């Protein structure tokens, strides 16, 4: 819709955001975005959330996007504002999170002159965005912003950048509304090839030991995809596992759920991957943390791969049947054909397959030694989970052992309730992500399961939480180490701990108070439940310093360079096994 009255570039930005139904904008001001900030303060459709560091704005927008299914939107200034966003963009790129990032740029006539706070934002972000634009003419601005939303959210989602020079923000130009835009080139295919889907139905019907291996693509496809997945899995009675990114798409409380797979996945999930005769991969990408050793990956299975991104197919693992399309669309067609053919599950085969799985389950791979005196990190997550049950709870994490324990011991029954940095593995993701989630879900319980090292990477965002009255709970598994790196040093480098002890950690309780938040410290297992309850009850941000066993290792584990059937189980390995688990070839793969 053309507005008739002329608008300046900054007004066009706000108008376009409002027309895209943007309710929240995460940002940080600076010289090159002053005109846009001047418009922000004069309107109330789009609420601006001021962060403390641009990376925080990026991760907050990621958390917002992941928990709502809507794109996250950020606004930062030129130069350092833009470069501070790069990590979040790369993170969103890896995990397929729709982000629209608006950056200020120096005036067009200054571009290329090494002007103050100039950087080549489109150049720097080209490889870590799905697409980016430099707007040189104010009359292109509205179209480009609408295109940016379209590109970020269609096909495989991802981050985009729109770089807007300051003179363009001042210039007067024409506004066009979103419905006028039809993209010139980008029209990703959502419907799967029907012949391939029919073939997939036949393959599943013939399989004796089938396994569903699902990923973040199911969540990105929307709630309908999770719904259809549940229908399919329950209709067939087959086991299902998922990647880190896909947790919640299928309810963890269901008996067909085998737990997460991959490097720190469950024994039963990984053994099922190794032994299955049909692998039905839906919205996952055969990442190296999932496959382990590629030439020994699931040697006896036929593989079907559903993915909206054709470039994910046959990238790491050759599959027998690729289906390019959106998960929900493909599953809908699949289910219709499956039902039409009235396939009955092969009960006898299923019984044999499940009894094999039950034997693996009986190994109880997540077992750990309880302790009366010190809090075991796994126990802490178990108690956290039990105390959060019955509430609408969203969990974000930082990166490290705590992240893996969270994935293993906190169980998700719904999609969009688990946000973690999977592909890039970005320490410092969790707290800003929690802020984004809480912004979108003001009444829900939002917990960042954190590590003592990671939390310090974006600690400043506690101030954002306090300012915006966002009662996020930062649950720190404080082991005084960069635990995951320490574990690798033990595994790979003769337990020579190099720079992984967190000396001079702050007093987290005092730190919380300094920010105007609540601090809680717990050191004894017996005090844990009471303290967690308090954390949940207080209506303000909380830093929860949970002192846990310092040297616990995260098991089970597929050592690098090993196949799925060579897992190390925590209860069963000695320190010697741990020290020699990884071969020299495996070391380079870490």
Ligand X SMILES: Cc1ncc(C[n+]2csc(CCOP(=O)(O)OP(=O)(O)O)c2C)c(N)n1
DSSP designation for 40:
H
Residues 6+ apart with CB under 8 A from 395: 406, 410, 412, 417, 418, 419, 446, 447, 448, 449
Using CB under 6 A as the binding rule, whether residue 479 contacts ligand X is answered as yes
Using CB under 6 A as the binding rule, whether residue 425 contacts ligand X is answered as yes
Q: Give the count of beta carbons closer than 10 Å to the beta carbon of residue 311.
A: 10
585 binds, among other proteins, ligand X, Mg ion, none (CB under 5 to 8 A by kind): other proteins
Among 484, 535, 557, 567, the active-site one is 484
Among 23, 47, 117, 199, the active-site one is 117
Minimum CB–partner distance for residue 402 and Mg ion (Å): 7
Does the annotation mark 116 as catalytic?
yes
Element (H, E) at 522: strand 518-522
Minimum CB–partner distance for residue 298 and other proteins (Å): 15
Alpha helix positions (H), 237-346: 267-275, 288-291, 327-340
* β-sheet bridge partners, residue 49: 26
> Among 97, 68, 419, which residue's Cα sits nearest to residue 223?
68
Based on CB atoms, which residue is closest to ligand X, 148 or 404? 404
Among 39, 85, 94, 166, the active-site one is 166
CA distances in angstroms from 233 to 278, 298, 322, 549, listed in the order given: 14, 20, 20, 39
60 binds, among ligand X, Mg ion, other proteins, none (CB under 5 to 8 A by kind): none
Minimum CB–partner distance for residue 84 and ligand X (Å): 13
E strands of 3-120, at which residues? 7-8, 24-27, 47-50, 72-76, 99-105
Strands of 99-105's sheet, edge to edge?
47-50, 24-27, 72-76, 99-105, 159-165, 131-134
Site for ligand X in 433-472 (CB under 6 A): 451-454
DSSP designation for 390:
T
Site for other proteins in 114-133 (CB under 8 A): 122-123, 126-127, 130-132
Does the annotation mark 530 as catalytic?
no
Whole-number Å distance between alpha carbons of 121 and 134? 9
Asked if residues 65 and 42 have their Cβ atoms less than 8 Å apart, the reply is: no
Asked if residues 285 and 319 have their Cβ atoms less than 8 Å apart, the reply is: no
Does the annotation mark 484 as catalytic?
yes
Does the annotation mark 166 as catalytic?
yes
Using CB under 8 A as the binding rule, whether residue 155 contacts other proteins is answered as yes
6 binds, among ligand X, other proteins, Mg ion, none (CB under 5 to 8 A by kind): none
Based on CB atoms, which residue is closest to other proteins, 240 or 582? 582
Using CB under 8 A as the binding rule, whether residue 315 contacts other proteins is answered as yes
Stretch that binds ligand X, among 229-237, 330-338, 343-351, 399-407 (CB under 6 A): 399-407
Asked if residues 510 and 543 have their Cβ atoms less than 8 Å apart, the reply is: no
Strands 7-8 and 172-173: antiparallel
Whole-number Å distance between alpha carbons of 496 and 490? 7
Q: Which residue is nearest to Mg ion (CB)?
A: 451
Sole binder of other proteins in the list 318, 371, 495, 583 (CB under 8 A): 318
Does the annotation mark 47 as catalytic?
no
246 binds, among other proteins, ligand X, Mg ion, none (CB under 5 to 8 A by kind): none
Using CB under 6 A as the binding rule, whether residue 94 contacts ligand X is answered as no
Whole-number Å distance between alpha carbons of 81 and 117? 9
Using CB under 6 A as the binding rule, whether residue 477 contacts ligand X is answered as yes
Based on CB atoms, which residue is closest to ligand X, 225 or 381? 381
Minimum CB–partner distance for residue 475 and ligand X (Å): 12
Based on CB atoms, which residue is closest to other proteins, 229 or 582? 582
For binding to other proteins (CB under 8 A), which residues are involved? 122-123, 126-127, 130-132, 134, 151, 155-156, 184-186, 293-295, 309-311, 313-315, 318, 585, 589
Active site residues: 54, 116-117, 166, 484
For binding to ligand X (CB under 6 A), which residues are involved? 398-402, 425-428, 451-454, 477, 479, 481-485
């Amino acid at each position: 819709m053309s507005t008739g009255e002329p608008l300046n570039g900054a007004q066009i930005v706000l108008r376009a955001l409002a027309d895209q139904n943007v309710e929240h904008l995460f940002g940080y001001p600076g010289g090159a975005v002053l005109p846009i900030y001047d418009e922000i303060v004069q309107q109330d459709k789009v609420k601006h959330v001021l962060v403390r560091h641009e990376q925080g704005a990026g991760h907050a927008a990621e958390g917002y996007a992941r928990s709502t299914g809507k794109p996250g939107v950020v606004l930062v200034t030129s130069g350092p504002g833009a470069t501070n966003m790069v990590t979040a963009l790369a993170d969103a790129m890896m995990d397929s999170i729709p982000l629209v990032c608006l950056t200020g740029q120096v005036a067009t006539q200054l571009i290329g002159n090494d002007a103050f706070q100039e950087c080549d934002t489109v150049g720097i972000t080209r490889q870590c965005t799905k697409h980016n634009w430099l707007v040189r003419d104010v009359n292109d601005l509205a179209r480009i912003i609408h295109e940016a939303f379209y590109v970020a959210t269609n096909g495989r989602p991802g981050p985009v950048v729109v770089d807007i020079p300051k003179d363009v923000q001042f210039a007067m130009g024409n506004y066009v509304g979103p419905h006028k835009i039809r993209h010139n080139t980008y029209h990703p295919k959502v419907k799967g090839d029907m012949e391939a889907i029919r073939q997939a139905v036949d393959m599943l019907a013939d399989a004796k030991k089938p396994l569903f291996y699902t990923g973040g693509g199911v969540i990105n496809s929307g709630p309908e995809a999770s719904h259809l997945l549940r229908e399919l899995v329950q209709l067939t009675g087959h086991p299902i596992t998922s990647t880190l990114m896909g947790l919640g798409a299928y309810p963890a409380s269901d008996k067909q759920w085998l737990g997460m797979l991959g490097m720190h996945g469950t024994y039963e999930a990984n053994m099922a991957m190794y032994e299955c005769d049909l692998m039905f991969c839906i919205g996952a990408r055969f990442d190296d943390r999932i496959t382990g050793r590629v030439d020994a990956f699931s040697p006896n299975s036929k593989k079907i791969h559903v993915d909206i991104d054709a470039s994910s197919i046959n990238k790491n693992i050759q599959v027998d049947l690729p289906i390019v399309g959106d998960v929900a669309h493909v599953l809908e067609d699949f289910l219709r054909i499956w039902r039409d053919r009235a396939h009955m599950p092969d009960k006898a085969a299923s019984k044999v397959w499940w009894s094999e799985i039950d034997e693996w389950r009986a190994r109880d791979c997540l077992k750990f030694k309880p302790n009366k005196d010190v809090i075991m990190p796994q126990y802490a997550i178990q108690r956290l989970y039990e105390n959060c049950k019955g509430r609408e709870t969203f969990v974000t994490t930082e990166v490290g052992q705590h992240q893996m324990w969270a994935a293993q011991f906190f169980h998700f029954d719904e999609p969009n309730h688990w946000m973690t940095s999977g592909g890039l593995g970005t320490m410092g993701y969790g707290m800003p992500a929690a802020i984004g989630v809480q912004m979108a879900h003001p009444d829900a319980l939002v917990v960042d399961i954190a590590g003592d090292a990671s939390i310090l990477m974006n600690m400043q965002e506690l101030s954002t939480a306090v300012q915006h009255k966002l009662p996020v709970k930062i649950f720190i598994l404080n082991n005084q180490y960069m635990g995951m790196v320490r574990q690798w040093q033990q595994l790979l480098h003769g337990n020579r701990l190099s720079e992984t002890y967190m000396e001079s950690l702050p007093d987290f309780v005092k730190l919380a108070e300094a920010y105007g938040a609540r601090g809680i410290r717990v050191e004894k297992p017996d005090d844990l439940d009471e303290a967690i309850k308090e954390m949940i009850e207080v209506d303000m941000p909380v830093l929860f310093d949970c002192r846990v066993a310092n040297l616990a290792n995260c098991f089970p584990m597929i050592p690098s360079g090993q196949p799925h059937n060579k897992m190390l189980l925590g209860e069963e390995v000695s320190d010697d096994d741990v020290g020699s688990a990884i071969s020299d070839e495996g070391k380079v793969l870490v």
